[in-house]
Amino acid sequence: MQVSPRGTASAKLRDFLELANQNIALAKQQNIQYSPQLLRENLNKLAALMSAKPEVSYIADKAWQVKDALHGDREIGCRVYSPAPSKALPVVLHFHGGGHMCGSVELYDPICRHLASIAQCVVISIEYRLAPEHPYPAGLEDCEYALRHYQSVLTEVQYQQGVSIMGDSAGGALCTSLSQRSLSDNTLNIAKQILVYPSVDYTMASASYQSNGAGFLLETPRVQWYFEQYFQEVAKDAERVKQASPLHGEFNAKLPSTLIFTAGCDPLRDEGIAYANALTAAGVKVQHHQFEDMIHAYMLLQDLVSEECLATYRMIAAFLAEPIIANTR
């Protein structure tokens, strides 16, 4: 494996990381095992660091009723945001992060409020199914359904035609998986994709899993455990896991224009960079920005790194404002 430099975290995160690392060490000392409930509770604690919640003119909880003869009927919830419901704005479908196991529309509510407000767009935040209760590909299927039927939850707001997709971490995996599906299915139409420290390689082969895999909140063993819960039986088949990884999928110029953010102190850093490079080599329009001193999930730490979060939102706003270049199918 190639050598990958370890990141140096911002001084803004020193106290936060010191406490997080103490808690991680204590859990190991007491032999506390991972569980869905524990990891969900821990992620939800980050809500305390997102105290700013901008007012947005229109916020409504909606749902799609899905008829599924194979697995039973189900409901996919979502929350719709519009800063100006009478104005036709760009649409962004948002897939939250959390290792395919954690996270929710509620936890990501402040992020979606900032996104709608700063980028002046309609945001649809998707409550997709989570592992281990609903393993791969359940969550991906929910996100694809939302992509195909997003217009049906926008009856009360004006919006522009076309839809972009956005996701952080596991949400980035969902975005990139859908983008690659669109290459072989021209009924899946994606204008642009926005990826924030995305997970794009389930094989965990990147060197930054070694250099950044401890001390920066998200640790390599936890990522491994997430993926085992997500894939379950599939996890035992290395080739199928590789096939599910967007980094190892097809790349060509028909993939949507992409804005990608990586963090210098993130175990997922190198795979995000590799994905951006693969898009560029395939002829896709790509913008890549790395926050050298940020950690994975920095967008959930708004109160600690507000400047970096604001810079991220502003780059997203500029990216969405650019004309859409239609891909030739």
Burial class (CB in 10 A: 0-12, 13-18, 19+), 22: exposed
Q: Give the active site residues.
A: 169, 266, 296
Residue 72 gets the label, from left (phi > 0), alpha (psi -120 to 50) or beta, of left
| Residues in Cβ contact with 239 at an 8 Å cutoff, skipping those fewer than 6 apart | none
For residue 180, what are its two tokens? 């690659």
Q: Is the CB of residue 166 less than 8 Å from the CB of residue 159?
A: no
Question: Rounded distance, CA 184 to CA 180, Å?
Answer: 8
Q: Among 116, 124, 126, 133, which residue's Cα sits nearest to residue 54? A: 116
Tell me the residue type at 220.
Answer: T
| Residues in Cβ contact with 196 at an 8 Å cutoff, skipping those fewer than 6 apart | 97, 166, 167, 168, 169, 171, 172, 260, 261, 299, 312
What is the DSSP code string of 139-206?
Answer: HHHHHHHHHHHGGGG-TTS-EEEEEEEEEETHHHHHHHHHHHHHHH-TT---SEEEEES----TT--S
Q: Taking CA 216 as the corner, what is the angle to CA 210 and CA 220, rounded to the nearest 5 degrees?
A: 40
- Buried b or exposed e, range 186-219, using 16+ CB within 10 angstroms: eeebbbbbbbbbbbbbbebebbbbbbbbbbbbbb
The CA-atom distances, in angstroms, between 277 and each of 148, 191, 216, 262, 284 are 28, 20, 25, 13, 10
